[in-house]
Amino acid sequence: MTDVALMERVVWPRCKSALSTNTRRLAEINKLVEARLKDLSVEQKVAQLIQAELASVEPEDIRRFGLGSILNGGGVSPNANKRASIEDWWNLANEFQTAARESEAGIPIFWGTDAVHGHNNVFSATIFPHNIALGAANDSDLVERLGAATARDVLDTGIDWVFAPTLAVPCDYRWGRTYEGYSQEPEIVARLGSAMLCGLQGDPASTEFFDENHVVATSKHFVGEGSTLDGIDQGDALCSEIDLLNIHALGHIAALKAGAQVVMAAFNSWNNEKVHGSWYLLQEVLKDQMGFDGFVVSDWDGFAQLDGDPETACIRSINAGVDMLMVSSDWRGVYERVLNAARIGEIDDVRLNDAVGRILRVKALRGMLTPNWRLPSTRSKQTLGSNSKRELAREAIRKSLVMLKNSNGLLPLETKKRIVVVGKSARDIAQQCGGWTLTWQGTNNETDDFPDAVSIESGIRGVISAGGGVVSFIDEVDDETDADTAIVVFGEEPYAEGEGDLNHLSFSQDDSLPLAQMKALNARGIPVVALFLTGRPRWINPELNASDAFVVCWLPGTQGGAIADVLFKDSANTVRYDFTGRLAFSWPLDSSLTCIDRDSNQPDSYLPVGYGLTYEEKVSFEQLSETDVSMGTSLRGPSFQGSYNYPNP
Ligand code: BGC
Ligand code: BGC
């Protein structure tokens, strides 16, 4: 194993944003922060460093302790009600802010939430495609508009802070968070990630930055999470410092330049040292060399994973440069331990004041430290779930679809035909949305959890009925099945971090039914269009061979009707939308491969980044090898080695 201390050090770039050139505003902000800091007791200072999870904290606790922040974790909502209304969110946010105002220090509280593809914890919000789809669309203007729309929805619930964008550069597709990354190409991650950040926060060069239409965003997770050995979530990123900089930090560099004020520390280790305990990465690299002047928030109990005495892990993490601790449940215990450490000087005044000052500075930039800071209840109501959001979602989906194969120009389809839609995935909104949707893993969701959502099937029905054709739906092909064309919809079931890790990429190893359906259709002479819902490239050579046309739909979210917009011509027989999506990850055509092909030294083993057909191109697609060498092989140990329910120290 590489010894970090012995590795050659690289020089990290200084990342200035337009924010730092507004010296007058900054001087005012710093004055405000200094003044507040001076008046705070050590108890009040330590309280600012704590972020408690909604399920374990009441407004009363905020009134009493004056904590700096709360979050709602994945799937956590007001009154533990998945269908909590916007008013429920709004009222609760108001209660928390009122309590913060009434606490001794009176400092407004930051509420953070994972709005990673729209405001995804909130019933009735429009769910946008996951980042992997946006990477395929590769349109920064679109991504910025998605960020702005998400910010509006988040503000509608009285929340000011979002844990997005994810700037991971996933390298091993077995990783269950691959879909949270835009691309394997650091440049694409940097460009789209900073566009998302600007959409969420506003342009730092303008007055819209952090105004009442924008939220505070998070550059996450710093750094190296996409490079863990075997794609194991929270594992060890074994890479050189130069790769850490040039590949894995590129998104963060762009985000800092675009005005990121919060960075979330990554769960993973870098060469055997947990980032949450790395003074080198957090203090020397991020704060000193890169010049980051916002605050670092830990990931979910991330500090608790440091080696050594669990009692002091939170203290060591703060001393390594983490400013705010995200605590799953035992926030009182963590508060007591940090307070004690501050009293006895285990956390010295310089570090304590630096951490609190950073948090207050972001609050001040957000306008929270001025007397005219408004409670959520006095802000104007916006447009959660509006038509314009749904239209935006449809645009994003249309642009993200990637056509891998189109033999004999089967697509686009005419609407005056008999179409059979095959497979329950065609009706499964939860599957369309994937992880981080209403629940943490995206599991246990039903179709009626998504009012106003459109399934892929109903989108197809819409265009066909307008065009005079006929649609039928079947779960499985049988002797009666008859149609001009079959559309088989299939793919991965929802998953998120940890649970979504795999030890092979072969899709049919996990679910052989879609392939069997395609073969049955082949035998009946019915042409097959395959639509694949997935959060990552999978090895699908058999399915590619068994279909005439193949489209990767990624995890499109609630507006699945957009897919029919592209697949079908209009009733006058003209193409409405051509495909523009391109692979932002190389796609393995060899079942033994699980990682990206950055150097393209095996060109025949992958469909390369940039691949994607249009209706203009008539490309013949050769039969692919169906030898599945991954069958039965476990390329590594148990698929999930993270520690989600990590005992509190
Ligand atoms: C929470 C998530 C969190 C995860 C980490 C879940 O119970 O809902 O937000 O990321 O735990 O352990
Ligand atoms: C995830 C973060 C997320 C946090 C809060 C963690 O488990 O790694 O991405 O923001 O939980 O839900």
Reported as a single tens digit per residue, the pLDDT across 24-75 is 889 999 999 999 999 999 999 999 999 999 999 999 999 999 999 999 999 9
Give the residue-averaged pLDDT of 82-111.
96
Task: Name the residue with the closest Cα to ligand 2, atom 4.
Answer: 300
User: Which pairs count as long-range contacts for 443-447, CB under 8 Å and 24+ apart, including other chains?
Assistant: 443/493, 443/494, 443/495, 445/494
Min mean pLDDT across 167-171, 208-212, 639-643 is at 639-643
- Sequence-ordered list of residues with C-beta below 8 angstroms from that of 301, at least 6 positions apart, any chain: 326, 327, 328, 646, 648
| C-alpha of residue 447 to centroid of ligand 1, in Å | 23
Active site residue 479: no
Choose which residue among 116, 166, 495, 644 to substitute to test ligand 1 binding: the one with the highest number of ligand atoms within 8 A of its C-beta: 644
Give the pLDDT of residue 600: 66
- Sequence-ordered list of residues with C-beta below 8 angstroms from that of 544, at least 6 positions apart, any chain: 404, 405, 530, 550, 621, 624
Question: 3-class SS at 527?
Answer: coil
The Cβ of residue 616 has, within 10 Å, a number of other Cβ atoms equal to: 8
Give the pLDDT of residue 446: 96
Residue 644 CA: which ligand 1 atom is closest?
Answer: 12
Any ligand 2 atom below 6 A from CB of 163: yes
| C-alpha of residue 74 to centroid of ligand 1, in Å | 5
Whole-number percent of the chain with pLDDT over 90:
88
Phi/psi at 600 (5° precision): 50, 40
Report the length, in residues, of the chain: 649
Q: How far, rounded to the nearest angstrom, does the alpha carbon of residue 504 sit from its chain's CA centroid? A: 23
Reported as a single tens digit per residue, the pLDDT across 469-521 is 999 999 999 999 999 999 999 999 999 999 999 999 999 999 999 999 999 99
Reported as a single tens digit per residue, the pLDDT across 456-475 is 999 999 999 999 999 999 99
| Ligand closest to the CA atom of residue 176 | 2
Choose which residue among 54, 76, 114 to substitute to test ligand 2 binding: the one with the highest number of ligand atoms within 8 A of its C-beta: 114
C-alpha to C-alpha distance for 2 and 438, rounded to whole angstroms: 41
- Given a cut of 70, whether residue 640 has pLDDT beyond it is no
Active site residue 493: no
Selected catalytic residue, list 61, 185, 299, 330: 299
**Cα→Cα distances 121→81, 300, 365, 541, Å:** 11, 17, 26, 35
| DSSP code for 288 | I
Residue 72 CA: which ligand 1 atom is closest?
Answer: 9
Phi/psi at 49 (5° precision): -80, -5
Q: What is the 3-state secondary structure (H, E, C) of 385-448?
A: CCHHHHHHHHHHHHHHCEEEEEHHHCCCECCCCEEEEECHHHHCHHHHHCCCECECCCCCCCHH
Any ligand 2 atom below 6 A from CB of 74: yes
Give the residue-averaged pLDDT of 98-124.
97
Any ligand 2 atom below 6 A from CB of 225: no
Say if CB 564 and CB 528 are below 8 A apart: no
Residue 166 CA: which ligand 2 atom is closest?
Answer: 9
The Cβ of residue 306 has, within 10 Å, a number of other Cβ atoms equal to: 21
Any ligand 1 atom below 6 A from CB of 440: yes
| C-alpha of residue 560 to centroid of ligand 1, in Å | 27
Say if CB 160 and CB 216 are below 8 A apart: yes
Any ligand 1 atom below 6 A from CB of 190: no
Give the pLDDT of residue 382: 63
Give the pLDDT of residue 23: 87
Report the mean per-residue pLDDT for the chain.
Answer: 93
| C-alpha of residue 55 to centroid of ligand 2, in Å | 15
Structure tokens at 240: 């050189």
Selected catalytic residue, list 293, 497, 499, 590: 497
C-alpha to C-alpha distance for 14 and 50, rounded to whole angstroms: 29
Site of tokens 């430290």: 369
pLDDT band of residue 648 (cuts 50, 70, 90) is very low
| C-alpha of residue 183 to centroid of ligand 1, in Å | 24
The sign of the dihedral angle between the CA atoms of 185, 186, 189, 194 is negative
pLDDT band of residue 6 (cuts 50, 70, 90) is low
Structure tokens at 485: 């064309």
| Ligand closest to the CA atom of residue 112 | 2
Any ligand 1 atom below 6 A from CB of 112: no
pLDDT band of residue 602 (cuts 50, 70, 90) is confident
| Ligand closest to the CA atom of residue 71 | 2
| C-alpha of residue 299 to centroid of ligand 2, in Å | 6
Neighbour order of strands in the sheet with 69-72: 161-162, 110-113, 69-72, 50-53, 325-327
Give the pLDDT of residue 614: 97
- Helices 313-320, 331-343: inter-axial angle, 10-degree rounding: 60
Give the residue-averaged pLDDT of 622-640.
65
**Cα→Cα distances 643→202, 232, 320, Å:** 36, 12, 21
Residue 642 CA: which ligand 1 atom is closest?
Answer: 12
- Given a cut of 50, whether residue 2 has pLDDT beyond it is no
Any ligand 2 atom below 6 A from CB of 497: yes
Residue 71 CA: which ligand 2 atom is closest?
Answer: 5
192: left (phi over 0), alpha (psi -120 to 50) or beta: alpha
- Given a cut of 70, whether residue 632 has pLDDT beyond it is no
pLDDT band of residue 306 (cuts 50, 70, 90) is very high
Reported as a single tens digit per residue, the pLDDT across 545-581 is 999 999 999 999 999 999 999 999 998 899 999 999 9
Any ligand 2 atom below 6 A from CB of 442: no
Q: Label residue 599 exposed, middle or buried (CB < 10 Å: 0-12, 13-18, 19+).
A: exposed
- Given a cut of 70, whether residue 301 has pLDDT beyond it is yes
Reported as a single tens digit per residue, the pLDDT across 326-383 is 999 999 999 999 999 999 999 999 999 999 999 999 999 999 999 888 877 676 666 6
Say if CB 98 and CB 135 are below 8 A apart: no
